[in-house]
Structure 1
């Protein structure tokens, strides 16, 4: 098949977190009209698709991932008419738009759940997952199993009125829907999918896509945290027995609209399971997000239970190799990304966010991930090299429920031990989701052009906006923003090898340079990235032959006479090989 005939969703995606993108009415909260006002800027990046994080009616316990009504818009973000205008304006510019589809759970304020918990006899009782209590040898009431919620604590909440537990894999205010109930599924499809597809939405990023089918026995999870009552259970409750059935049903709804699906697919180490989800022949999902790369350096039991930079470069190489390997010998598709709303900023995690190196390392990360195969996802602010919140900010500046719960857990377990709390702060400063959620930095003023300087934004603006912002970078040919635009042009110009090519790592044991070759049908590309603040030799590639430098983040030869075979600190190069 010719590249020009490839599906439209094999392009590049720009992700928007509405609360933090652009405030059009100076109430301190980003909104849909702010997105509409910024569409020319987004189009200028060279992306093909816009992804809007949840903008639905919600109590905002988990920043909109707790939905109270799929067919309404959260008031501070705007109206249904605003969303219709956004869809129309995106299409007018030749781009497409996808929404977040959050259907593993709803808010406990959703009308369905209010009915479900009203009585055991309610027709919607079985729309959610209710279980009887267990009792220990002392007669004490216990939850049905030992599963830990993704945000800490038991995954089961006792309901006093009806005397049963309901399952919530996230916050207690986010009860899990019962996908085994056909009525429930039909209602989900109608309200959350068909309603928006008929308004012109081009597809969905599907939240927690592999959690819908649970093991009907609801077994205990293995003990991995001996000091805790509740255990990490992702490998127990993900990828249940009916997942393929449910994904096929969802695809049947999407297909008539030529709509795309990208599923969030955690806790799935088995490659065959992932290939089964993304196989074009099986018609389930177009692609998934695997978290191998963004999970590098995270703790094994609790993701924040680690130290900053607790990884080797080999770990990142292995992670990228696994996700890129989905294209080798399969009919599936993959994704490439290193930032989103659930991750800290990539320059602060994998580059060097000091003033000396942050721009160069940001460009190097752009070169690396834009040279990988699959659909490319870019998160707002990544294109200007936004970095983590300052280490000097107090813990009170962390707003995310995940961050707050972890810090509280450490305080309780350690009886407020100062050393352990300091370690928790250091980990959150490196990995917390909050870093992705500080307002977009449009200009150098104190509120970064996100909202008026007289307004208190919902979340504090990173003071780095004085040096890192759209306005200043727009006028510079040497900015991170200019490099991202150039890199997207290179990616399209060489799509046969950069978007569709087969990945081969070079010198895997090298702990300073990440080098790889991309094999296309007619050409090859060689990518060299120096993950180090020192000079490094380029690894040898035996069949290099002639090479043409297509793009790099520094001049190939500097005035100091550094040889062509030496990479400068945080330097990245992309060669085409003949």
Structure 2
């Protein structure tokens, strides 16, 4: 018997508030701006909002550098604004999941300031400090060879404490010391504080990094992220997550979603199994298919067989998946996996079909429902993303690339700024995002791609998303049904069935820019069409399916 839970049935909409909607004309999205746009979410049909961090922060990494977990960053508004947002969402039967950052804080956090100034005090052991060695000139040498995910050493020397602190991300984001029970108490208290305010769960940022290996040994220099074998899925990670589960989530229906860098299927099963501490995990294997020889800062080739194999392995191997192609850290999917020029509508809706008909909880990122595309960044000065800027500068300094021009194509394909350009609401100045000067430029194509235009045109990416979300809501087989892949070696077609009791749905997608013809023995000639991204499709299938570029068809079997 299937276990019905709200987060399995939900479609989650991710809001990056800094870029969603600006209510006061300062060019910076805010909570009142989100509230003003809630009718769009209600009409779209989503069931839950995942809100990126709105906590007090110096914003060096756009809110993932938290300086106070119980306060709202003033540019976003006030706690009263946040309370009103929660109330407005719940009145629309839309739940709210907050983004929690348990691995690190900002260097501006009071905990860090007191830790650096008083090593023997209450907060002295809140972070991971090491003395390190000195070189022949007497200069400090990092304690080990670990590298930051943002490039360079994962260690920074602090002159005030005269010691090194660990930062697996930006230098302004020191890692908390989860071996210290006081740290665990503080983070649990912060999470329970928000749950008591009425939220519906947390997305736990890079939560698989909480446990670091005893002794902090050197890492394998051949790893893409040196040292990751010692801080990804570390030795005490399940102890820490079990404690979070018992002290925060147990006895509630709040959802626990873990973001898991470098996650493999075996660990995913342990994290989310019957006795696992989490409900959902984000893995990133499918969004690494286009990495090149130099890894993330290179663009490689991928094909449909790669995508199908990866998605199938996770569909087949994990009881419940988190389904996504985009988020605040990923480029736009229609530019990455589709054709954002000739077949923008068709390929964006083909991706939507995969997202909303596979088994798992779908996550739609703001603007994805419009088919928003990647932007252009003529110089490094046009890039706001600290991750991109640091990595590009290091590649240039190391001689791996000559200058920005020689890596611009990679930046425009990969930078997180692609997802952070303002939401495109209409064709007025700055896409209706703000009356002022936006904190990051709007994509040049906003007069053509925006909510208002999508509501006018037929067909549209937006209307197709609405149709699919509605179909998923009223079709149990698309939520709780089993999954079976067909034609795994087909280089154009992605075909699978979702079956629950006597309800059977067949999904057929031509994921290519060429016509595809196929005899599908899994498709009954009496099947009825539920949805397609082309308008002139007959209600029942022909004996031979002829699918146009990126054409999708979803059928119900009799």
TM-score normalized with structure 1 length: 0.91
Q: 1:313 to 1:17 in 2, by over 3 A?
A: same
List aligned pairs for 1:216-255, cutoff 5 A: 216-224=214-222, 231-252=225-246, 253-255=248-250
Which residue does 1:538 correspond to in 2?
518
Cα distance, 1:398 vs. partner?
1.5
Instruction: Choose from 371, 379, 384 the match for 1:385.
Output: 371
List aligned pairs for 1:6-405, cutoff 5 A: 6-135=5-134, 141-191=140-190, 193-224=191-222, 231-252=225-246, 253-269=248-264, 271-279=265-273, 281-299=274-292, 301-307=294-300, 310-327=301-318, 332-354=319-341, 356-390=342-376, 393-405=378-390
* Total equivalences in the alignment: 555
Which residue does 1:442 correspond to in 2?
425
SS of equivalent to 1:157: strand
Q: 1:112 to 1:574 in 2, by over 3 A?
A: same
Distance in 1 separating the partners of 2:335 and 2:86 = 34
Q: Could you tell me whether the CA contact under 8 Å between 2:98 and 2:202 is conserved in 1?
A: yes
Cα distance, 1:258 vs. partner?
2.0
Distance in 2 separating the partners of 1:127 and 1:243 = 17
Instruction: Choose from 459, 465, 474 the match for 2:446.
Output: 465
Q: Could you tell me whether the CA contact under 8 Å between 2:52 and 2:99 is conserved in 1?
A: yes
Cα distance, 1:243 vs. partner?
1.2
1:484 aligns with 2:470: no
Q: Could you tell me whether the CA contact under 8 Å between 1:9 and 1:260 is conserved in 2?
A: no
SS of equivalent to 2:208: coil
Which residue does 2:434 correspond to in 1?
451
Distance in 1 separating the partners of 2:439 and 2:42 = 27
Distance in 1 separating the partners of 2:489 and 2:442 = 40
Query: Which whole-Å deviations, capped at 9, do the CAs of 1:335-366 have from their partners, x for residues lacking one?
Result: 11111000000000011000x31011111111
Distance in 2 separating the partners of 1:521 and 1:136 = 69
Cα distance, 1:132 vs. partner?
2.2
Cα distance, 1:294 vs. partner?
1.7
Query: Which whole-Å deviations, capped at 9, do the CAs of 1:349-408 have from their partners, x for residues lacking one?
Result: 011000x310111111111111111111000000111011036x4332221011111221
Compare 143-152 and 503-512 and name the one that shifted more.
Answer: 503-512
Cα distance, 1:313 vs. partner?
1.5
SS of equivalent to 1:369: helix
Q: Could you tell me whether the CA contact under 8 Å between 2:18 and 2:76 is conserved in 1?
A: yes
SS of equivalent to 1:218: coil
Cα distance, 1:283 vs. partner?
4.5
Distance in 2 separating the partners of 1:231 and 1:220 = 12
Q: 1:358 to 1:124 in 2, by over 3 A?
A: same
User: Any gaps of 5 or more consecutive residues in structure 2?
Assistant: none
Instruction: Choose from 378, 400, 411 the match for 1:428.
Output: 411
Compare 84-93 and 60-69 and name the one that shifted more.
Answer: 84-93
1:576 aligns with 2:556: yes
Cα distance, 1:232 vs. partner?
3.1
Cα distance, 1:180 vs. partner?
1.0
Q: Could you tell me whether the CA contact under 8 Å between 2:520 and 2:545 is conserved in 1?
A: no
Q: Could you tell me whether the CA contact under 8 Å between 2:140 and 2:157 is conserved in 1?
A: no
Cα distance, 1:136 vs. partner?
5.7
Cα distance, 1:556 vs. partner?
5.3
SS of equivalent to 1:465: coil
User: Any gaps of 5 or more consecutive residues in structure 1?
Assistant: none
Q: Could you tell me whether the CA contact under 8 Å between 1:326 and 1:333 is conserved in 2?
A: no
Query: Which whole-Å deviations, capped at 9, do the CAs of 1:288-307 have from their partners, x for residues lacking one?
Result: 01112222202465412234
Q: 1:125 to 1:504 in 2, by over 3 A?
A: same
Distance in 2 separating the partners of 1:416 and 1:507 = 41
Query: Which whole-Å deviations, capped at 9, do the CAs of 1:171-214 have from their partners, x for residues lacking one?
Result: 111000011111111011112x0111111111101100111111
Cα distance, 1:139 vs. partner?
6.5
Cα distance, 1:563 vs. partner?
8.8
SS of equivalent to 2:307: helix
TM-score normalized with structure 2 length: 0.94
Cα distance, 1:57 vs. partner?
0.4
